[in-house]
Every structure is written in structure tokens, then in C-alpha cells.
Amino acid sequence: MKSAHRVDPIALAAVVAVGAFFGLSGSAHAARATRSFDVSVNAHPAAVVTLSASNFYWANIASQDRVPSDNGPVAVTGTMRTSANGGGGSIGVMSPNNLTGTQQANHTLNISQFSLGCSGSGNVGTQPTYAPLYTVLAAQSTVPCATWGQGATSHLNFLFNLFLDGRGLPSDTYASNGFALIASST
């Protein structure tokens, strides 16, 4: 049986019109349209800090000035980003009150007998300003170790150490977990 195909002229006209619209006709040129769009990024200030060790100790302290910790310095790594207009950033050491001896309660180790040292050239990006070597700590306050100005972006990698003035220190064992390294950014 032979089948006859009949082409509907209206359907054929629609196919030709659609093909012409999408560039499917026999011509070799292509058409394109361009549309613009916007991108908005709001990068907030940020500070992240990691320490390579979480304690400082002096096993056999002698009666001398500015004795570095037995296990220091420790590496400070992380990131610092400050705002572009009027911002700033800092990493500081927060200290507890004076330390009381654990063997004899009347012995006190004054926080001001501790000092800090921060230094390094391993930061990538904006370099910080470090506190002078042997900057003395103060009870119940934060002493800056490294600071950044506005518009700073830095990957951190510097050294931090504590020093102890052992002169005149009564024989005892002193311990505290009340110290903290605080990073802030505005």
C-alpha cells in the first residue's frame, strides 16, 4: 500500500519562520545578544589565629632578667583583614591577675614580671608593626603584639615568645591558664 504524504502549507510556513528566527536557515552567519550584569562583594574585616603550642613554661627558673620560655617561641599563623576606610587590626596578649604560688599561697608572681616578643618576616601581604621586644604585660589587660592599619590583608606567620624576670622571685610553682592571644579587626 502506497502512502501519500501531504504537506500542510501552514505548518511548513511555521517551520521556515522558526528556523529563520533561530538562524537555522541556509545562511552561515550567527546572531548573538549581550546583556550586562553587576557583581557586588562586601568583604568584612576578619581575624583568624592559630598557635603552634598552647603553653609556655620555665622548668628551672634562675634569678636573671628576661629569661625566654623553655618551649618558645611559638608560631602564630592565620589571617588578618581590616576594612578599607578607618579600620585596623591587632593581635594582643590578654593577661590574668598576678599568679599565686601553688605550694605556698603567700608567694605571688606579678604579671609585670612577664614581657613579650613578637617578630617575623614570614607574613604574606600587609606587614604588621610589632611591639618592641620585652614589652611588659599588665594584669587584666591586653598588650598589643602586632598591629595593622586600614586596608590590610595578611596571611600570618610570625613568632611570639614570653620572657620572665626571675630576679627576686620566691621559690614556688606558679601556673595559670588565664592568658589569651586575642586577634581583632575593624
* Whole-number pLDDT of residue 123: 86
Question: Among all chains, which residue has been given the C-alpha cell 578607618?
Answer: 86
* Whole-number pLDDT of residue 7: 55
CA 57 – CA 62 distance, rounded (Å):
13
- Which residues of the chain fall short of a pLDDT of 70? 1-28
* Whole-number pLDDT of residue 128: 95
At 44-98, the pLDDT tens digits run 899 999 999 999 999 988 888 999 999 989 999 999 999 998 889 999 999 999 9
* pTM for this model (two decimals): 0.76
CA 50 – CA 27 distance, rounded (Å):
64
* Whole-number pLDDT of residue 61: 86
CA 31 – CA 53 distance, rounded (Å):
63
